[in-house]
């Protein structure tokens, strides 16, 4: 096994050094016996994995199945393969099985990263079902605070953040003989960081195979970054999709008399009046918009129709209802439904053309999440969610001219983010200076400088020499999966004797605000929040909520 190969190499090096130092022969013999036992156990484990590799089959209905032989051959012949395929073509569930068919998963696991937790769980369950097993045997998953993957697993689906966390204890990623970076087109900070790490790792790991998948055709950059790796294009299984434009009157919108929620509800009413039946997917930018839309649709009382919200913070059991509900449904979702999930039965899409897109503000060194227009690529992804079961209709709540004026692709997150956390991890992993790291799109020099300056102010980094270096505090902060500022709070709290209280505040600052304040119910929300409010500190308000919850519930 690959993980044992590295461990055995270190163990044998120590034995060799002891032999040079004229160590006790009896002790050396014991150490050699232990190394031999480890090697034999590793060989036996690999033999067991070879003999118990799951039998795989591929649903003929999925478009990617027609490319199976080509993909398997390319995996065998190349270290890196790029697969481009429309959402719903089957790449997330079938490529891990194709890796098994290509002989992968024997010397290490087949790891597959996903941008979102719900996708990691859903895909793991689907692959396990296709193998005729329960999750946790041949197929497992790992997300923050939850892992259901055995040591004997062949396939492990995880969030990209989990793979990054594993690099701290396994810098060479020897647990895996194959890594699939799924949904790479999203170009999140984690995805770009992982791709950069892999570019530095592959020359040292010639036996490691990497498959990068994208739901867009913008694959040239991925291919060029990995030595012009071969690209496989998979066509989706789609029916024609008609696009209708239903822009909001800008004057009424400016006066607050008409909102995109109003227009979305109006569009659904229009579909029902025209007797256009079929499941509907509505894209909204925020949770508040989703809950308001769901409430208003519930009030419409559409017969035999289930209204379902879908956003990342929703409990997994609630998210799973989009797959289990029978009969007609209307799903109101954030961009979590744009590419990560394929919701069955969708015939109509209503697209507000908006999403919360993070934006770093260098002047204040803060990150905001404003509601912003999505790119053409994202709009096309949303359109592609319908037309998979029959002719589809995508209603865009903006004009065609607006669509044509939008940027072709969303700006990579690394070019609009605070880089302090990335720089901290890079220094901890000895990956060199951020300006020389092989990112697909290098960040702006100003962003790198801001990140280093912030880490210096926090006492995590010194910049006295040519290369920035981690301090003792910095090494401790790098081991915490937190924003560096919050990690620094935790360290200081240990000295001030208030770690318990600050841990609660740090947790609250690491997630979305637990307080909900729907616009139409703002007075009631303020009244409900008032008993917890501390006049001197929002932080203490959060602590009051925690204490009250644990005291009374």
Cβ atoms 191, 160 nearer than 8 A: yes
- 377 phi and psi angles, rounded to 5 deg: -60, -45
* Region for residue 103 given its phi and psi (left: phi exceeds 0; alpha: psi -120 to 50; beta: otherwise): left
Residue 134 has pLDDT above 80, yes or no: yes
Residue 43 belongs to some domain of the structure: yes
Question: Per-residue pLDDT averaged across 404-433, rounded?
Answer: 91
Residue 521 has pLDDT above 80, yes or no: no
Containing structural domain, residue 358 = 241-411
CA distances from 432 to 166, 422, 465, 466, 468 (A): 19, 12, 13, 11, 9
SS3 string, 362-397, reads CCCCEEECCEEECCHHHHHHHHCCCCCCCCEEEEEC
Does 145 or 76 have the greater pLDDT score?
A: 76
Please report, to the nearest 10 degrees, the dihedral formed by the alpha carbons of residues 511, 517, 519, 522 taken in order: -160
Instruction: Give residues with Cβ within 8 angstroms of 330, minimum separation 6.
Output: 268, 279, 280, 281, 282, 297, 302, 305, 306, 307, 308
**Domain end residue (candidates: 234, 262, 280):** 234
For the record, the structure tokens of 199 come out as 């570019």
Q: Residue 327 in 3-state DSSP?
A: coil
Cβ atoms 293, 265 nearer than 8 A: yes
User: 346-374: per-residue pLDDT in tens?
Assistant: 999 999 999 999 888 877 777 888 999 99
Identify the pLDDT of residue 77: 97
Residue 450 belongs to some domain of the structure: yes
pLDDT band at 278; cut points 50, 70, 90: confident
Identify the pLDDT of residue 312: 81
Identify the pLDDT of residue 237: 66
Whether residues 149 and 196 share a domain: the answer is yes
pLDDT band at 23; cut points 50, 70, 90: low
Whether residues 362 and 396 share a domain: the answer is yes
Identify the pLDDT of residue 340: 67
Residue 58 belongs to some domain of the structure: no
CATH code for position 222 = 3.40.50.300
Distance CA 100, CA 58 (A): 12
* CB count in 10 Å sphere of residue 25: 9
Cβ atoms 115, 214 nearer than 8 A: no
Whether residues 130 and 177 share a domain: the answer is yes
pLDDT band at 87; cut points 50, 70, 90: confident
Residue 260 has pLDDT above 90, yes or no: yes
Identify the pLDDT of residue 12: 84
H/E stretch holding 113 reads strand 109-114
For the chain, how many structural domains are there in total?
Answer: 4
**Domain end residue (candidates: 234, 255, 272):** 234
pLDDT band at 446; cut points 50, 70, 90: confident
Instruction: Give Rg (Cα) of the chain.
Output: 26
Question: Per-residue pLDDT averaged across 30-59, rounded?
Answer: 90
Whether residues 363 and 437 share a domain: the answer is no
Whether residues 184 and 226 share a domain: the answer is yes
Whether residues 345 and 425 share a domain: the answer is no
Distance CA 402, CA 224 (A): 32
Whether residues 314 and 343 share a domain: the answer is yes
For the record, the structure tokens of 47 come out as 């033999």
User: 176-233: per-residue pLDDT in tens?
Assistant: 999 999 999 989 999 999 999 999 999 999 999 999 999 876 788 999 999 999 999 9
Does 293 or 340 have the greater pLDDT score?
A: 293
Distance CA 406, CA 401 (A): 9
Whether residues 227 and 313 share a domain: the answer is no
Whether residues 75 and 105 share a domain: the answer is yes
Residue 469 belongs to some domain of the structure: yes
For the record, the structure tokens of 480 come out as 């915490």
Whether residues 371 and 511 share a domain: the answer is no
Question: Per-residue pLDDT averaged across 67-73, rounded?
Answer: 97
Only one residue has tokens 């607050």, namely 256
Does 330 or 26 have the greater pLDDT score?
A: 330
Identify the pLDDT of residue 550: 86
Distance CA 298, CA 264 (A): 14
Whether residues 307 and 221 share a domain: the answer is no
For the record, the structure tokens of 323 come out as 């797959």
Distance CA 484, CA 497 (A): 20
Distance CA 349, CA 141 (A): 30
Residue 56 belongs to some domain of the structure: no
Cβ atoms 158, 120 nearer than 8 A: yes
Residue 110 has pLDDT above 70, yes or no: yes
Cβ atoms 340, 183 nearer than 8 A: yes
**Domain end residue (candidates: 381, 411, 441):** 411
Residue 80 belongs to some domain of the structure: yes
From the number of C-beta atoms within 10 Å of its C-beta (0-12, 13-18, 19+), residue 30 rates as: exposed
pLDDT band at 33; cut points 50, 70, 90: confident
Question: Per-residue pLDDT averaged across 319-334, rounded?
Answer: 90
From the number of C-beta atoms within 10 Å of its C-beta (0-12, 13-18, 19+), residue 306 rates as: middle
Residue 91 belongs to some domain of the structure: yes
Does 35 or 308 have the greater pLDDT score?
A: 308
Question: Per-residue pLDDT averaged across 291-308, rounded?
Answer: 93
Q: What is the largest CA-CA distance in the chain?
A: 90
Instruction: State how beta strands 279-283 and 328-333 pair.
Output: parallel
Residues in the chain: 553
Identify the pLDDT of residue 551: 84
Mean pLDDT (the chain) is 90
Does 235 or 460 have the greater pLDDT score?
A: 460
Residue 448 belongs to some domain of the structure: yes
pLDDT band at 519; cut points 50, 70, 90: low
Whether residues 73 and 156 share a domain: the answer is yes
Residue 455 has pLDDT above 80, yes or no: yes
- To 5 degrees, how large is the angle CA 450–CA 452–CA 454? 70
């Amino acid at each position: 096994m690959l993980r044992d190969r590295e461990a055995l190499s270190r163990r044998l090096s120590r034995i060799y050094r002891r032999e040079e130092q004229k160590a006790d022969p009896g002790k050396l013999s014991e150490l050699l016996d232990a190394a031999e036992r480890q090697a034999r156990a590793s060989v036996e484990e690999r033999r067991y994995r070879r003999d118990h590799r799951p039998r795989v089959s591929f649903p003929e209905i999925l478009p990617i199945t027609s490319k199976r032989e080509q993909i398997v051959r390319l995996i065998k012949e190349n270290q890196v393969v790029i697969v481009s395929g429309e959402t719903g073509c089957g790449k997330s569930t079938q490529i891990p099985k194709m890796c098994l068919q290509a002989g992968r998963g024997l010397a290490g696991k087949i790891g597959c990263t996903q941008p979102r937790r719900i996708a990691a769980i859903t895909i793991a369950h689907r692959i396990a079902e296709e193998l005729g097993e329960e999750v946790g045997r041949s197929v497992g998953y790992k997300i923050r605070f939850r892992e259901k993957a055995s040591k004997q697993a062949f396939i492990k689906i995880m969030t990209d953040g989990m793979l990054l966390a594993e690099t701290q204890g396994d810098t060479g990623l020897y647990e895996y003989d194959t890594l699939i970076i799924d949904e790479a087109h999203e170009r999140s900070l984690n995805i770009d960081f992982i791709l950069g790490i892999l570019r530095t790792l592959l020359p040292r790991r010639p036996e490691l195979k990497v498959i990068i998948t994208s739901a867009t055709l913008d694959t040239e950059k991925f291919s060029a970054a990995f030595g012009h790796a071969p690209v496989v294009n998979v066509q989706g299984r789609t029916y024609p999709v008609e696009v209708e434009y239903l822009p909001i009157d800008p004057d009424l919108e400016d006066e607050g008399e008409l909102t995109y929620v109003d227009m979305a509800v109006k569009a659904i009413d229009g579909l029902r009046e025209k007797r256009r039946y079929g499941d509907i997917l509505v894209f909204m930018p925020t949770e508040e918009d989703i809950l308001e839309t769901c409430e208003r649709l519930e009030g419409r009382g559409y017969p035999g129709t289930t209204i379902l919200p879908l956003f990342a913070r929703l409990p997994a059991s609630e998210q799973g209802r989009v797959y289990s509900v029978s009969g007609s449904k209307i799903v109101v979702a954030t961009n979590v439904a744009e590419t990560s999930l394929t919701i069955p039965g969708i015939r109509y899409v209503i697209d507000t053309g908006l999403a919360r897109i993070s934006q770093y503000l260098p002047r204040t060194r803060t990150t905001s999440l404003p509601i912003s227009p999505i790119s053409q690529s994202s709009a096309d992804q949303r359109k592609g969610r319908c037309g998979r079961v029959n002719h589809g209709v995508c209603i865009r709540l903006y004009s065609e001219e607006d669509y044509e004026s939008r940027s072709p692709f969303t700006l990579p997150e690394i070019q609009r983010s605070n880089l302090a956390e990335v720089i901290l991890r890079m220094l901890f992993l000895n990956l060199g200076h951020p300006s020389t790291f092989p990112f697909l799109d290098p960040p702006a020099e100003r962003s790198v400088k801001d990140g280093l300056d912030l880490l210096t102010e926090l006492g995590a980094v010194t910049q006295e020499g040519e290369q920035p270096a981690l301090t003792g505090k910095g090494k401790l902060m790098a081991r915490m999966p937190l924003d560096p500022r919050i990690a620094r709070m935790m360290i200081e709290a240990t000295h001030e004797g208030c770690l318990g209280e600050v841990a609660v505040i740090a947790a609250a600052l690491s997630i979305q605000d637990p307080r909900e304040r729907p616009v139409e119910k703002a007075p009631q929300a303020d009244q409900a929040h008032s008993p917890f409010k501390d006049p001197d500190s929002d932080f203490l308000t959060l602590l009051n909520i925690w204490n009250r919850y644990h005291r009374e519930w």
